[in-house]
Structures are given as C-alpha cells and as structure tokens.
C-alpha cells in the first residue's frame, strides 16, 4: 500500500507540468466560461424563462456534447497522457526496476487516470453551479438563484463518471501497450463514433458497448413514469452503468496480468 | 558472490540471445562485462534486473533468488540501462526529487548527487535540453541516489567526452575502494574496462567466452618479440629454419613468440650475421584489444 501511495504521489509530481493534467482543469473552466459568455450576451431573450428551465438549458448545453463526444474523447486522451509520460522518456524500464511492486506502479497509474477524470467532472459541476449563480448576480433578470439543482448536477456527473470507466480501462491498456499516439487514439475514435451511432439509434444492446455508455447515461438519467416535471429525479445506477463498472474492473485485472507477464523492452 | 547466475538462457522468439550464462561477480569488484554490440549484454542486464523474465537457469543476487525476492534485491541495486531514463519535461533536480520521493530518500541527498555529478548549475534546466553527457551524468546520479550496494551500469560512458569518462571512472573506483560497493559495468570498449575493472567477463553471441580477474586475462596474452628489419619475409624464413616461432610478418615488422631475453639476443646476432639490417628489436605485450578481438572472433 505504501508503494501504491508513493507511486500515486509520483504520478502527480510527474504530470503536474503536462498538458494532460492541466487539460483536466482548463477544459471545464473554458467550456463553462464560454457558456457563461453566451448566456450573458443573450440574456434579453432568456428573461422570464422559469428558473428551472434556465438551469436545464445552461447545464444541458454541456451535457449534450459531453455524452456524445467530449467525455469519451477526453477519457481516451487522459488514458494516453498518463502512459505517454513513460513512453516518451523511455522510463518504463527504470520504473519497473525500482523496489516497488508492479501492482503498485500499475494500480497507481490507473487510479491517477481515474482521479483526473473525476477531477474534470467535479469541476464541471462546480463551474456550472458557480457560473449559473454568477449570472444571476450580473444579470438579475435571469433568476438562476430561484432554483437549486446542485444535487441533481452532482448525480448526473457522477453517473457520467461511472459510465466512462469502461472506456478508460480499455484505453488505458491500449495506451500502456502501444507507445504511439495513433493506435489507441484511432481505435478509440472509431469506437466512440460507433458507440454514438448505436446509442442514438437506440439499439437495444448498446448498454453492453462501453463506448456508448456516456451517451446512454445521458438518455437513461431521467427517471421515467413521473409525469410531473416540478422536480428532476436522476437515475444513477442504470444497467449501462453497471456494465461500465464491470468492464472497468475486468479489464483492469486483465491488464495487471499482462503487465506482470510483460517484458520491459 | 554478489551476482551468480547458472545456466541463464534467454530467447527472443526463435533467436537465442543469451546462452547458458554462468556469471560470478565477487563482492567489492568492478566487473567489466565486455562484448561487441549485439552480444547480449543489455539482455543479460535486463534479466538481472528482472525486467525480462528468466526463461531457464537461475539468477542469485546477494545470494537470493531474483524471482522470489525481487523487491528486496532491487532495493539494493542502482541501475542505468542503455540511454538514461529521464523525464524530459522535468528539470534535472525534479527528476531526482521524483526518484527520491519513490525511494523515500532524504531530500538533501538530491543536492549531494547533483554536486557529485557536477550538475548543480544545470539543476533547474529542463532535462530535455541537456546534452547527451549531462543526461548520462544525471542517469548515474539517479542510479546512486539511494546509496545502493550494487551498481549495474549499461555502457555508462556512452556520449561522454574524455573528461567525463575519466570522472565516471574515478567515481566508480572510489565507490568500490572507499564505500565497498560492487559495480557491474557493461561496455564494448576493452580499453575503458581495462583501466578500472578488477574482473572481466567477455560475452559474444550470447556466450560467455572468458571470465576471471584482469590479471588472468592479461596472462592469456603471450608476449612477443617485435623486430623491425629491412627484408622481413626472408628474415622470417631464416628464423623459422633456426627453430624460432614466427607469428606474424608485415612489410616492416616481424613477430616472434617471446621465450626469454637471451633468445632476443640470439635472434639479434643471427639476423646480424646473415646480413639483415635491424632497426629495432624488443619485447612487446600482445595488447588486450587484440586478445579481445581474437577471443570474440575465433569463437
């Protein structure tokens, strides 16, 4: 466990000056700022919109693109970036000749990738809430302050986080085994497009395909059967989320055995 | 023995790159692991560090099996394999700090190492901007950081200028003599190893062709009598007819196996009596460079 903690801290130390780390912070900041500017500029048209609908429009604008493209592609990028640090510097051999178990090195790297995804999605929640409330201050006509959906936003993004773990585990393994950017990126891109098409066509088995999960997560989040829309209810644990978690765990364990057997070139 | 391997073999696919290797590296030695490029040196080193899995045979380091005591053994080894593995986006100091974090070495050790390899002035420069020699020195600093008992260095003087080579050599000699370390160093340059090694192993095509102390290696090289004369071919024939063993003839020189100094005088007077002009004559140690080539080429 000590080796794991040391490796995890080292991952942070190594990556804190890389694009991979900063992208996790800048991406939500940038997108939420742009949205803020958009709402600020178009505030006249939105005056009089019920507060709940304002929030739905504000948060929903991000979520649409998040499920279909942003989250899968960002996950692919993060999985690549934590491994590329070692590929680029040719440091796998020194990493695996340290007196630290292979399990700790592999586990810490994987956990760090999960941490970065979590960080990004948590910041999306934070910035969405923050910028929404800021809008009600700078444009008092927009009554963002009259409705609260912090809990729902947190639930939605938590669901998105869980739905990305299947993709992450697969992409992490591909990026670990291949040093060049194009192979994992190419495979990830093709799978993401396929996933989006399957999910948008409502293919009945798309909950089994990890690359469809973020998109499916968006479409399954609304609790059905309740006609009144006075309260938004979020269904976090749907079957696609369970499949994503299962894929994540299985691929992570398989990956560990591959690392254990793998010769370090 | 600090390192002891028995019947160590390794295949890459169909190709056998290490063949039944039996290394014996005594404590407190500088063991020069010599061989031409592609002889299997790096593969052997990766096996010693458990980066490659042992396919057949065994490796004992500090008398413990590497397969079962990997972490305990690795905690006492500092290594440098091929090009130094350095994070190019971090500075030299940050590279050492990162390693110090992983190995739980006190921070002050980082500055000591920077001073030792003379990188204090370049400590905050990105390692990506380092010259090859600076990278190599940083690699050595990383290997020494945890004060390991055994240093395994793969071609550590690659890319260093003559001053750098001398510094590394003196550093390694000091580590062995004053701090009782053991150094296992691979190289394809005999001259370099000859200047510091106490023990030598010569490998070619994955096979260990020689192993022993540097004195034993030198004993293998027979001394010669080198004669500079005017008509070397005829002179060689004359000497052969008189029972001397001629080993080599060139335009200017001929070489005869050395027996004792009286025989040199005899050769001198024999050639002189038969009208050959002798410009120089003397005993010559067959240099190890040639011996090394002989050993690796005639295998």
In this predicted structure, the answer to whether residue B23 has a pLDDT above a threshold of 90 is yes
Q: Do A99 and B90 touch (CB under 8 A)?
A: no
- Nearest CB among A10, A97, A261 relative to B98 is that of A10
Task: Look at residue B84 in the predicted model and tell me its pLDDT.
Answer: 81
Q: In chain A, positions 64-103, which contact chain B (CB-CB < 8 Å)?
A: 85, 88-101
Task: Look at residue B58 in the predicted model and tell me its pLDDT.
Answer: 93
- For chain B, the DSSP string reads --EEEEEEEEEETTEEEEEEE--EE-TT-EEEEE--TTSSHHHHHHHHTTSS---EEEEEETTEETTTSHHHHHTTEEEE-SS----TTSBHHHHHHHHHHHHT--THHHHHHHHHTT-GGGTTSBGGGS-HHHHHHHHHHHHHTT--SEEEEESTTTT--HHHHHHHHHHHHHHHHHH--EEEEEES-HHHHHTT-SEEEEEETTEEEEEEEHHHHHHHS--EEEEEESSHHHHHHHHHHTT--EEEE-SSEEEEE---HHHHHHHHHHHHHTT--EEEEEEEPPPHHHHHHHHHH--
- How far away is chain A from the Cα of B3, in angstroms, using its nearest Cα? 16
Strand order in the sheet with B253-257: B246-249, B253-257, B224-229, B278-284
pTM of the entire predicted model: 0.85
Between A264 and A159, name the one with better pLDDT.
Answer: A159
Task: Look at residue A150 in the predicted model and tell me its pLDDT.
Answer: 86
Between B289 and A20, name the one with better pLDDT.
Answer: A20
- For A224-256, the DSSP string reads PS----SS--B----HHHHHHHHHHHHHHHHHH
pLDDT classification of B113: cutoffs 50, 70, 90: very high
Report whether B31 contacts B196 (CB < 8 A). no
Task: Look at residue B20 in the predicted model and tell me its pLDDT.
Answer: 92
- Using a CB–CB cutoff of 8 Å, tell me whether A264 touches chain B: yes
CA atoms within 13 A on the CB side of B102: 27
Q: In chain B, positions 201-240, which contact chain A (CB-CB < 8 Å)?
A: none
The strand pairing partners of B80, in sequence order, are B153
Between A69 and B99, name the one with better pLDDT.
Answer: B99
Q: Do B103 and A98 touch (CB under 8 A)?
A: yes
Q: pLDDT tens digits, residue range B136-173?
A: 889 999 999 999 999 999 988 887 888 888 888 888 89
Coil, strand or helix: which one is A204? coil
Cα radius of gyration (chain B)? 24
Residues of B with CB below 8 A from A94's CB? 79, 81, 85, 142
pLDDT classification of A223: cutoffs 50, 70, 90: low
Residue A70 gets which letter from DSSP?
A: I
Backbone dihedral angles phi then psi of residue B62, each to the nearest 5 degrees:
50, 40
- CATH code, residues B221-297: 3.30.70.980
Q: Where are the domains of chain A?
A: 2-261
Task: Look at residue A60 in the predicted model and tell me its pLDDT.
Answer: 87
- Nearest CB among A9, A17, A91 relative to B101 is that of A9
CB atoms within 10 A of CB A222: 13
- How far away is chain B from the Cα of A13, in angstroms, using its nearest Cα? 7
Residues of A with CB below 8 A from B104's CB? 6
The stretch B46-51 carries a mean pLDDT of 92
* Total count of residues recorded for chain B: 299
- How far away is chain A from the Cα of B81, in angstroms, using its nearest Cα? 8
- How far away is chain A from the Cα of B86, in angstroms, using its nearest Cα? 6
CATH 3.30.70.980 occupies which residues in chain B? 221-297
Q: Do A18 and B89 touch (CB under 8 A)?
A: yes
CA separation (Å) from B115 to A243, B122, B290? Answer: 54, 10, 39
- Using a CB–CB cutoff of 8 Å, tell me whether B274 touches chain A: no
Please give the torsion angle defined by the CA atoms of residues B19, B24, B28 and B30, in that order, rounded to the nearest 10 degrees: -40
In this predicted structure, the answer to whether residue A82 has a pLDDT above a threshold of 90 is yes
User: What count of CB pairs under 8 Å joins A to B?
Assistant: 71
Q: Do B46 and A18 touch (CB under 8 A)?
A: no
Residues of B with CB below 8 A from A6's CB? 101-102, 104
* Two tokens, residue A253: 């364990």
In this predicted structure, the answer to whether residue A12 has a pLDDT above a threshold of 90 is yes
Looking at domain B3-213, its CATH class is alpha beta
Task: Look at residue B158 in the predicted model and tell me its pLDDT.
Answer: 81
Residues of A with CB below 8 A from B103's CB? 98-99
The stretch B73-93 carries a mean pLDDT of 91
pLDDT classification of B295: cutoffs 50, 70, 90: confident
Chain A interface, best mutation among B85, B95, B152, by max A CB count within 10 A = B85
CA atoms within 13 A on the CB side of B53: 7
Q: Do B142 and A91 touch (CB under 8 A)?
A: no
Residue A118 CA to residue B31 CA, distance in Å, equals 50
Q: Distance between the two ends of chain A, CA-based, in angstroms?
A: 27
In this predicted structure, the answer to whether residue B204 has a pLDDT above a threshold of 90 is no
The stretch A80-87 carries a mean pLDDT of 93
| Range with lowest mean pLDDT among A160-164, B61-65, B250-254 | B250-254
Q: Do A94 and B50 touch (CB under 8 A)?
A: no
pLDDT classification of B287: cutoffs 50, 70, 90: low
Which residue is listed with tokens 């968006």? Answer: A218
Is A257 exposed, middle or buried (CB count within 10 Å of its CB: 0-12, 13-18, 19+)? Answer: exposed
- How far away is chain A from the Cα of B150, in angstroms, using its nearest Cα? 13
pLDDT classification of A229: cutoffs 50, 70, 90: low
In this predicted structure, the answer to whether residue B125 has a pLDDT above a threshold of 90 is yes
In this predicted structure, the answer to whether residue A174 has a pLDDT above a threshold of 90 is yes
CA separation (Å) from A240 to A62, A206, B116? Answer: 21, 8, 57
């Amino acid at each position: 466990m000590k080796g794991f903690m040391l490796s995890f801290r080292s991952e942070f130390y190594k990556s804190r000056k890389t694009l991979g780390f900063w992208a996790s912070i800048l991406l939500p900041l940038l997108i939420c700022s742009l949205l803020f500017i958009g709402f600020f500029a178009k505030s006249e048209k939105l005056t009089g919109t019920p507060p709940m609908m304002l929030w739905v429009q504000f948060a929903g604008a991000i979520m649409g693109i998040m499920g279909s493209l942003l989250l899968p592609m960002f996950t692919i990028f993060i999985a690549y970036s934590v491994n590329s640090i070692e590929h680029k510097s040719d440091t796998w051999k020194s990493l695996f000749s340290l007196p630290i178990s292979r399990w700790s090195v592999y586990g810490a790297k994987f956990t760090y990738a999960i941490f970065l995804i979590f960080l990004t999605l948590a910041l999306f929640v934070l910035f969405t809430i923050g910028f929404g409330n800021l809008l009600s201050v700078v444009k008092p006509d927009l009554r963002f302050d009259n409705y609260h959906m912090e809990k729902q936003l947190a639930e939605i993004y938590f669901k998105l986080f869980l739905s990305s773990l299947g993709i992450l585990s697969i992409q992490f393994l591909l990026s670990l085994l291949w040093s060049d950017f194009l192979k994992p990126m190419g495979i990830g891109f093709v799978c993401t497009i396929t996933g989006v098409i399957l999910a948008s066509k409502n293919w009945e088995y798309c909950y089994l395909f990890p690359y469809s999960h973020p998109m499916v997560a968006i479409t399954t989040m609304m609790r059905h059967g309740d006609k009144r829309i006075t309260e938004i209810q979020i269904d976090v644990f749907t079957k696609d989320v369970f499949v994503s978690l299962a894929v994540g765990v299985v691929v992570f364990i398989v990956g560990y055995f591959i690392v254990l057997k793998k010769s370090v070139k | 023995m600090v390192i002891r391997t028995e019947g160590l073999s390794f295949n890459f696919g169909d190709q056998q790159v290490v063949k039944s290797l039996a290394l014996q590296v005594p404590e407190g030695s500088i063991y020069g692991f010599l061989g031409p490029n592609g002889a299997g040196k790096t593969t052997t080193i990766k096996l010693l560090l458990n980066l490659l899995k042992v396919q057949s045979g065994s490796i004992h380091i500090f008398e413990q099996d590497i397969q079962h005591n990997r972490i305990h053994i690795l905690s006492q080894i500092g290594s440098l394999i091929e090009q130094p593995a350095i994070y190019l986006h971090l500075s030299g100091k940050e590279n050492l700090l990162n390693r110090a974090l992983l190995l739980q070495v006190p921070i002050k050790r980082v500055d000591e190492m920077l001073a030792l390899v003379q990188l204090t002035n370049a400590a905050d420069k990105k390692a990506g901007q380092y010259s090859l020699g600076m990278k190599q020195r940083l690699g050595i600093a990383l290997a020494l950081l945890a004060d390991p008992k055994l240093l395994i260095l793969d071609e550590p003087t690659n890319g260093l200028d003559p001053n750098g080579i001398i510094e590394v050599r003196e550093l390694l000699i000091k580590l062995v003599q004053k701090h009782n370390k053991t150094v296992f160093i691979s190289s394809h340059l005999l001259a370099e190893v000859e200047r510091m090694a106490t023990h030598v192993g010569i490998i070619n095509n994955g096979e260990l062709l020689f192993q022993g102390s540097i004195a034993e290696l030198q004993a293998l090289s027979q001394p010669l009598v080198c004669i500079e004369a005017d008509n070397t071919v005829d002179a060689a024939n004359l000497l052969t007819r008189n029972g001397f063993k001629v080993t080599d003839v060139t335009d200017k020189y001929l070489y005869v196996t050395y027996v004792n100094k009286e025989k040199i005088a005899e050769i001198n007077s024999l050639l002189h009596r038969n009208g050959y002009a002798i410009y120089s004559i003397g005993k010559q140690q067959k240099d190890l460079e040639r011996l090394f080539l002989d050993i690796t080429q005639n295998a």
